[in-house]
Structure 1
Amino acid sequence: MPRTAVKSQVLADLVAEFAEPTLEGKEVSGLLGADEKLVSTISQHEHTWWKAHIDGAANQRGLWVGLVLLSPEGITIEKSLRLGFSATNNKAEYEALLEGMSMIRKMGGKSVNMFSDSRLIVGQVNGDLEAKDERMQEYLVRAKHLQTHFHHFRLTHVPRSGNTHADSLATLATSSAQPLPRVILVEDLFRPKTEKANGIWVHSVRAGPSWMDPLVMFLKHDTLPDDKVEADKIRRKATRFWLSEDSKLYRRSFSGPYLLCVHPEATELILEELHEGICGSHTGGRSLSHRAITLGYWWSSMHKEALEYVKKCDQCQRYAPSIHQPGGELNPLSSPWPFAQWGLDILGPFPKAAGNKKFLLIGIDYFTKWVEAEALANIRDVDAKKFVWKNIVTKFGTPHTLKSDNGLQFDSKSFRRYCNELGIIN
């Protein structure tokens, strides 16, 4: 549009805007209207306002929402939301607006100045445009409800070039108007803000009863169970434990620091981290329990639980050393009693040696395979009796059984009588 002539009122407005207030000016300011006073009060408290840049984006990969919140102290909070439901680009913009308002409300903000590059959303919230779609009306009602929790609320439209930071978070782009932080909060949003949850979520913050409770009650309040036997056990065990100021139970170790007693519900998590965590080496059950002790943890059944946990590890079972030896029946030992059963036999004749010795009398223990041998010139039953007495009875005690090949030297009446006198089965 063509400009009109510059009037002198422009110079007056310029001087009034940049000139310092005087006493006469203060008297004149008292004549301002109620609306001008409200604007002046809001501008004076501008430093207590929250600022928020919001943006929503829809592409082939899905729907994304980006938020950049600036607190009155100058702290910047950046957040990216990934929408897990189907929605249009305008609905994504509304999700960004409602998420930003909810976050500022939870952090105690009472005055907020929000910026969005969506003319539709800004026009509907400010009342300049009418929401005809049913879903848009639900979003608008939700936004108006959250707006009542703020003392001052302002939603301003900015061009897309002035909202690049929030846009970069919404699209997770690699560039931004300013450096992105190293950690950006990315969450999943599975239902619209206008949809109410079907149920109530209950979070358990207190662990159940465990073996540590009686010890803690005794060390903290000097309270014992009603059962006398259990009370005596608790009193004896309590000498090996120590309770810290924050009610944590520790066990006194013999040669190291105090060991933190672990609740039964947290033992599996510790074993999992030690066994197959970032520094896990898939050690055996005994080594796993010892490693937990060296790291300062203890519970009563840690060795048993470590053995059972290793047995359930899929990788340990899958890549364990395989035994390639074929299976077979076990061969029972004939004599589990050392030097109780001997086998006797005669070898020869060999070429004559010194003393005309040409036979070899041998005795072998069935269990240890120990060998006793003697060279002989003759192999009579008398020589067999001397061999048994000299090489077996006097060295290893009276045997239980003597076995032979039924030779005449071991089957004669004289040798059998000798064995019966000593109690030997021949």
Structure 2
Amino acid sequence: MSSPEVDEVLFAYLTVALHAVSFVLIREDNGVQRPVYYVSKSIHEAEVRYLSLEKAILTVVHATCNLPHYFQAHTVVFLTQLPLKSILRSADYTGRIAKWGTILGAFDIKYMPRTSVKGQVLADLVAEFAECPEETNMKQSDMDEKSVGLISTQGGSSWRVYMDGVANQRGAGLGLVLISPKEIVIEKSLRLGFSATNNEAKYVALLMGMSMVHKMGGKIAELFSDSRLVVGQVKGELETRDPRMQGYLSQVRRMQTKFESFVLSHIPRGENTHADSLATLATSSTRNFPQVIIVEDLYTPTSPEKDVRQVHQVNLAPSWMDPILKFLESDILPEEKIEVDKIRRKVPRFWLSEDKKLYKRSFSGPYLLCVHPEMSESLLEELHEGICGSHTGGRSLSHRAITQGYWWPHMQKEAQDYVRKCN
């Protein structure tokens, strides 16, 4: 493997196979392509049914998740014959493609046609040796009675544990949801009497879940956590450097030996809301809760008729947007012939949505929301000094406004004036 130089442009090849995808990162050294890193991923369940273009985009997303340091420090050029650029920058797609496009938009990624195979051979080789998922290789007709009996026995005696740990100013708490082989749900909310970080709380939740399953005689455990750090360290995919984390990991390793089968999987936070709610409940108050908390359903909303408030609409001053909006909405043009010609030339570059918002058409990227002149300064202030502000220069600030989906005339000059005034 070769180490890239600072700010060096890297090239990438990807391969999409039936049950696996692969990605190879390459750097040019005096005309010779040298591999920097490679990643492969077996495709499971619904991902197998993705279209080839969707699998290719999934490969790029998977590469950014596994090698973020390369994508953050370098410009990466993907060499492929697939039209990934036009798909990711089109406003016509929704769902997972739009979500992937948002993720990839944070990196400096470019797409170019592949002119030679070179590194593509290595990407094909990595995909060829990727491990195929067991569920696609195992067919029902090939199973004998013993294997079916073994699988049904293991599935019938397996405990499922969903866990989460939370640490905040009020302390640390754990949430555990245990599901027995007979589908009996056991919920537990634990408040920690000692200080702990968020990652330490998630490790304690893992240990408590394993301990509860062991005490109830379980030998096969499937545990689910939304912490990539904990799951990665237990699986050996991530290095454990902190001494306290090493101590927790050692306890997990010792307790693993008490199980015949132990599987720890990562799940999205949205699929772990039950355990997360129990963990948050433990830290929501310093007082003791009753053993039973009654939760009732309210089906009828409270009538707001007795509490009527007047809302005063604030009208914005006239701006460059008004003639375009009038023409797109009601086909109304100004009286002056010169202004009419201007509007007719400008209108094809804009689009009016159903909720009466004006957007500027983009040649290769998504449509940009037009900003009223009275709102532009507050937008620049948020991008420059807000929560995610980076105090960049005027040119970078205007470019960032465009990447966030906004546009207005003379935005680069206004951004430079704002930065000059701020400094």
Same fold (TM over 0.5): no
The one of the two structures with greater contact order (alpha-carbon pairs below 8 A, sep at least 6) is 2
TM-score, normalized by length of structure 1? 0.34
Greater Cα radius of gyration, structure 1 or 2: 1
